[in-house]
Amino acid sequence: MLKKMESLGNISGGQILVLLLLTSLITAAVEAGTATINLNTEKQTIRGFGGMTFPRWGRGFTDVNNQVDTVFGNGPGQIGLTIMRIDVPPDNNGGTNWSLALPSAQRAINNHGAIVFASPWSPPPSMKTNGSTTNGGSLKTDSYGAFATYLSDFANYFSSNGAPLYAISVQNEPDVTVTYESCSWTSTQMKNFLANNASVIPTRVMAAESYQFFHSFTDPILNDSSAEPNTDIIAGHIYGGGLADYPLARSKGKEVWMTEHYTESAQDGNVWPLALDVGKEIHDCMAANMNAYVWWYIRRYYGPMGESGNITKRGNCMSHFAKFARPGFVRVDATASPQANVYVTAYASNSDSNLVIVAVNKNTSSQSVTFSLSGGSCSSYTKYETSSSNSLSNMGSVGSTNTLAASSINTFVGTVLYGDLNNDGRVDFKDFAILGQGWLTVYGVDTLADIADNWLYGT
């Protein structure tokens, strides 16, 4: 380096410093990845983000009102989840079991506008081939109608008590045999149940919650002319695999939900950067065109809420999506990985001009990213960061080029100026000139007058 500096001859020390500064700026610009966000290319509608409360198994809320508010509220110090999953108990036990999750569901729906869906781990034992709620077994063929009525009664119970279910599942993980509460189904059995019995269920029906989201389980359902119309949501879990786009489900007009997973359970939900894994996983699910992401237990030491009711770092990571990409937002096309280990998704509101960008940096060093919009412009964003030193912290107003802290998840919220075709921060005659040139190209003519002639006279 000294020899190089000596070769600069009579250049002053100040000039050398300027050259070094310019070099570093150029290097930084080169290293900054660009995430192109195309506002005109819409993907899936976001239904929400959520988790499971399971009071029958001792994994419910211990202070229902306050803890449900913390999880499903969207104010300061709240996570902002919008989906609650509960279980369908295999017996009502004189009215006790069905009512266990009711207060939580009532609070989430009526105070926070959340949606609630329910999954059975097992039908009542009298309806099963092994006479037990555990160790698998199957639903007796002659009990299909009775089980559909059972699910219908459960949905009606919640509805009549002020907590209408958004959907109900046929079975949790029908394709894996375990010793706890469970029931085994083949794809054909579930297809037949949906085709012949599910129409009596008074809410949306979800299938099949395969433990590894095997499309081979739900493909026959989607391709069956009687089962498909009775199936509203295609759901699955991603234990050990299954995180992938599902074109067939989308082609049938079905929403695709990831309804259970946890990234690990050995460590506390505040261990960093381990907790960041859920941010990357949600990114992957959204990039795979899933409409919803649902974590396993909400209140658990490794979950979004700790045992004492505190929000964990994992909960902060979920908030980066849940608090900002609200139900009804639409994911828009974005460069998924503008540089190594940096992951970007973007969401636009159809009711206003809000744009939400979530950027995950899995690198152990800070990274620079630039957001380049197509179809509109955004001059500034409010940035929120969760990292080793911040927890969903408001980092203030920023521009289009930003530094992502090492091992961090970041949300950028801005207002889009639509019609700004040349991205200069305003809509003016220059944008109309671009639009006019586009018309000329489409019509294959030379002037706007030629387009008018085409419209008026067909020439």
Q: What is the CATH number of the domain that holds 368?
A: 2.60.40.1180
Q: What is the CATH number of the domain that holds 67?
A: 3.20.20.80
Q: Are residues 372 and 278 in the same domain?
A: no
Q: Which of 255, 260, 281, 385 is catalytic?
A: 260
Which one is catalytic: 173, 181, 228, 281? 173
242 — pLDDT class (breaks 50, 70, 90): very high
Instruction: Provide the 3-class DSSP secondary structure of residue 398.
Output: strand
Domain that holds residue 214: 47-326
Q: Give yes or no: residues 334 and 275 share one domain.
A: no
pLDDT of residue 385: 99
Do residues 49 and 79 touch, judged by C-beta distance below 8 A?
no
Residue 427's pLDDT is 56
Q: What is the helix (H) or strand (E) element at residue 258, kind and residue range?
A: strand 255-260
- Could you give the number of structural domains in the chain? 2
Q: 301 and 340: one domain?
A: no
- pLDDT one-digit tens code per residue, 25-81: 434 433 579 999 999 999 999 999 999 999 999 999 999 999 999 999 999 999 999
Least confident of 7-11, 120-124, 266-270, 399-403: 7-11
Residue 368 belongs to a domain: yes
Separation CA 314–CA 263 (nearest Å): 10
Is residue 228 annotated as part of the catalytic site, yes or no?
no
Catalytic residue list contains 31: no
Q: pLDDT (tens digit, 9 = 90+) per residue, 401-433?
A: 999 999 999 999 999 998 765 656 555 555 545
The residue with greater pLDDT, 438 or 255, is 255
> If you compute the radius of gyration of the chain from its CA atoms, what whole number of angstroms results?
26
**Band of residue 442 on the pLDDT scale cut at 50, 70, 90:** very low
Average pLDDT over residues 142-157: 98
Q: How many CA atoms lie within 13 A of 83 on its CB side?
A: 29
Tokens for 397, please give them: 């107003």
Q: Average pLDDT of 323-328? A: 98
pLDDT at 15: 52
Q: Is residue 109 part of a domain?
A: yes
Is 455 inside a domain boundary?
no
Could you list the beta-strand ranges (E) of 171-320.
Answer: 204-210, 233-237, 255-260, 292-297
Q: Which residue has the higher pLDDT, 260 or 15?
A: 260
- At 339 the pLDDT is 97
Q: What is the pLDDT of residue 446?
A: 63
What pLDDT score was predicted for residue 350?
86
Is 12 within a domain?
no
Task: Give residue-wise pLDDT tens across range 346-360.
Answer: 999 988 999 999 999
